[in-house]
Each structure stands twice: as structure tokens, then as C-alpha cells.
Amino acid sequence: MKIARSKFSPGNISIVYLYVVGFAAFWIWIPELWINWTTHKSVLNIDMSTKAIVAVGLVAPLLTNTFDLSIAGVISLSSVMVSWLQTEYHWNMWPAMALTLVVALACGAANALLVVGIRINSFIATLASGAVITAIAEYTSGGVQVQVPNTFKNVAKSQMFWGIQAKVGYLVVIALVLWYVLEHTPAGRYMHATGDGPDAARLAGVQTKRYVVLSLLICSVVAGFAGIVSAAQTAGNATAGGPYLLPAFAACFLGSTQFLGRFNVGGTVASIFVLASLVAGLQRSIENQGIRRILDSLFFGLALIAAVGLSKLLERYRERTAFRMRALEINRISEPSGHGH
């Protein structure tokens, strides 16, 4: 069974092994805190759910080889907007949420215009558009937190079962939908083809532009939804989005080294769960407040470097081995022939 072996080989599911090792270590280290549902519940509810929602949305553009750095701005704007509509204009939460999602979609459309219409490199285009969107969020909020009604807080915090909050439910639904779209529909296949060989895909009849646009729209709407959830968690905040950017990219890239060897929803969710769990474990085992506070950034930053770095190193190693063999060959055939200097 060749397929089965490669599926479960350490290279493909290293993230699972990492979790097992970490789990065992914390079991020994902090048994009372670790073998405790409260800890894992809070990982799911607080540490990972919103981050993971943003990250699975980001899988779509990354699959078409398009970067979307504007997600931080979109999260901030929708967090501010959904709160502002309710407190300043006393909108009911449903229309407020609907309009917010429409605005998030518009942000995605703007990105699509820059990337597909004008053909600006997606990295540059979304870096810039993200800054503009953040500026709008800051202006709207007036630089302060926008409080939200208590009923709205239920959107994020209402409990489902075993103390798990609704946010986790949203994550599951969004992840399932995106998994289905990206892995099992023609659209997903076309996005994948667009990302890995845009010219070849176009010559095979794939409407590559359409799928880049679609992926940017998906990413923005999902980020907009994450912004709503984050507002319901605390309050509308124009700086809400910033902390989500790095974890989302880290999880996507780490996820791309897992399961399928390319950007995928399952790997992304698994990566974020494992990283968040490890951070939670460490935070509970370390006394020092200063270190506790930086663990999150430190871990996700290192994870991004490790994920991208390791795959690059592996690639270089393969190339270099090939090069060395070639060099050896050439040296042998053009060795000095004894006449000397």
C-alpha cells in the first residue's frame, strides 16, 4: 500500500506528530492544567477560532498564487463598521452585519480591480489597499473602541455544547464549505491550475482572471466575517485586524507542507490548532509575564519561517546534490593530464 504509507509519513503529517509530542510533554510538565478541558476549550474558543477563519479564507487566493495582505485592514474595517452601525445609527444587528459583509466584498472587488484589472503585483496592491482600508476604519472609529450591544455579543459567545462557543461552529462551517469548493468542485480545480501554471491553464481554457477575482472575493468576505466575530467578542476596533495577518499566513504556509503538499484547508486548520495549543501550553507553564506575552508572535513567526524555510532548504539541497554530481563528473573528465606547471 504505497499510497497509505506516503499519506501518513512523518513528512506529510509532521504537524500531527508535533502535537502528540507537545501533548505528552505538557502532560508531564503541567498535568493539572493540561489534562483539563478548560485549557483546550479556551484554545478552541479564544486562541484559534477567529484566526483560523481568517486563515482558511486566505487559502483561496494563495491557491491561485495571489497574495492578500489587505485582510488585516478588512477585519479592522468590518469590526468597526458593524459596531458603529449598531451604536451610532441604532441599526439592528442583522442588517448591520449584512452591510458589513457587502463592504468587505467591495474591498475584495477593489483588490481584484488592482490585481486583475490593472495587473499590479498582488503583494504590492493588497499591501497598499490594506493600508487605505485601515485608514478608513480608523477615521470611522475616531481612534477609539466602538462599544457593541450585549445582544450582539451573543453572535460570538453563545455556547453550543461543552462550553464551546458559536465562533467554533462558524469555523467548522466555513472550513467545510471552503474545503468542498477548493477540493471538490471544478472551480477549485481551476483555481489550483491557475496558481501552478497560469499560462498553461489559460491555454487549457481556464478563465484564469475570473478565478483570481473569485479567490480575492472569498478571502475578503471571510475576513469581513472574522471582523464581525472579533467585534462581537470585545468591541469594534480599528486595530483589530493587525494581529491576524501573521498567524493566517503562517498557518497557510505551514498547512501547505501538510497532507496534500499544497495550500489546503485541512492542513491550515490543523496547523493553527497545533500552534495555538502549543502556545497555550507554554503560556501555562512559564511564570514570566514578559515571555508569556510574546509567545504568540514568536511562535507563529517561527512557524512561518520554518514552513517556508524548510521547503526552500529541501529544494536547494536537491538542486545542490544534482549540481555536485555534475561537478564531480566534469572534474573527472577534465582532470589535469600530467604535464604540470
Partner 1 sequence: MTDQPTRQQPLIDIESLSKSFPGQVALNNVSMQILPGQIHALVGQNGSGKSTLIKILAGYHQPDPGSIVRLHGETVDIATLDPHERAHLHVMHQDLGLVRSLSIMENLALGRGYHTGALGRINWAKEAARVSALLAEFDVRADPRTLVQALAPADQAIIALVRALQDWGDGEWGVLVLDEPTASLPKPEVDRLFAAVRRIAQRGGGVIFVSHRLDEVFDLADHVTVLRDGVVVGSQPLRELDQTRLIELIVGRAIDDLYTAPPEPMSEVAVQTENLAGENLIDLDLTVRRGEVVGVAGLVGSGRDEVAALLFGAKRPVRGEVRVGGRVVRAPREAIIAGMALVPADRKGLGCIPEHTVRENVVLPRLGPFGRFWLRRDAERSEAVRWVVEVDIRPADPERRIITLSGGNQQKAVLARWLRTSPSVLVLDEPTQGVDVGAKASIYELLAKSAEGGTAIIMCSSDAEELAHVCDRVLVLRGGKVATELSGGSLTSDRIVQEILS
Dist CA 107 CA 74 (whole Å): 7
Q: Is 198 or 242 the residue whose CB approaches partner 1 more closely? A: 198
Closer CB to partner 1, 167 or 192, in the complex: 192
Single residue of 204, 286, 291, 322 touching partner 1 by CB under 8 A: 204
What is the Cα 28 distance to its own chain's centre? Answer: 31
**Cβ 186 to partner 1, closest distance in Å?**
4
Which 178-197 residues touch partner 1, going by CB under 8 A? 180, 184-186, 189, 192-193, 196-197
Distance, in Å, from the CA atom of 282 to the CA atom of 291, rounded to the nearest integer, reads 10
3-state secondary structure of 159: strand
Rounded to a whole number of angstroms, the minimum distance from the CB of residue 169 to partner 1 is: 24
Residue 68 near residue 216 (C-beta atoms within 8 A): yes
Closest CA to 43 of 278, 288, 245: 278
To the nearest whole angstrom, how small is the minimum distance from the Cβ of residue 244 to partner 1? 30
Within a 13 Å sphere around the CA of 24, how many CA atoms are in the beta-carbon half?
A: 5
Would you say 197 or 243 has its CB closer to partner 1?
A: 197
Stretch that binds partner 1, among 73-81, 146-154, 170-178, 333-341 (CB under 8 A): 333-341
d(CA 119, CA 316): 31
Q: Taking CB under 8 A as the rule, does residue 168 contact partner 1?
A: no
Give the nearer residue to partner 1 in terms of CB position, either 197 or 301: 197
Please check whether residue 146 is in contact with residue 86, taking contact to mean a CB–CB distance below 8 angstroms. no
Q: Which helix (H) or strand (E) holds 141?
A: helix 122-141
Work out how close the CB of 257 gets to partner 1 at its nearest, in angstroms, rounded to a whole number. Answer: 14
State yes or no: residue 1 binds partner 1 (CB under 8 A): no
Q: Does 314 bind partner 1 (CB under 8 A)?
A: no
| Interacting span for partner 1 (CB under 8 A) from 18-26, 80-88, 203-211, 247-255 | 203-211
Closest to 54 measured CA to CA, from 273, 278, 219: 219
Phi, psi of 161 (to 5 degrees): -160, 160
What is the footprint of partner 1 within residues 88-147 (CB under 8 A)?
Answer: none
Q: Does 199 bind partner 1 (CB under 8 A)?
A: yes
Binding residues for partner 1 restricted to 38-67, rule: CB under 8 A: none
Tell me how far apart the alpha carbons of residues 72 and 180 are, in angstroms, rounded to a whole number.
Answer: 25
In angstroms, what is the minimal distance from the CB of 151 to partner 1?
37
Residue type, 253: F
**Least distance to partner 1, CB of residue 140, Å:** 39
Query: Of the listed pieces 36-44, 63-71, 205-213, 250-258, which binds partner 1 according to CB under 8 A?
Result: 205-213
Piece in contact with partner 1 (CB under 8 A), picked from 14-22, 40-48, 77-85, 204-212:
204-212
The residue ranges of DSSP E strands in the chain, in sequence order, are 159-161, 164-165
Q: Which three cell numbers stand for residue 340?
A: 604540470
Cβ-based nearer residue to partner 1, 241 or 267: 267
**Using the rule CB under 8 A, is 333 a contact of partner 1?**
yes
Report the nearest approach of partner 1 to the CB of residue 297 (Å).
32
DSSP labels, 68-133? -TTHHHHHHHHHHHHHHHHHTS---HHHHHHHHHHHHHHHHHHHHIIIIIS---HHHHHHHHHHHH
Q: Which positions touch partner 1 (CB under 8 A)?
A: 180, 184-186, 189, 192-193, 196-197, 199-207, 325, 328-330, 332-341
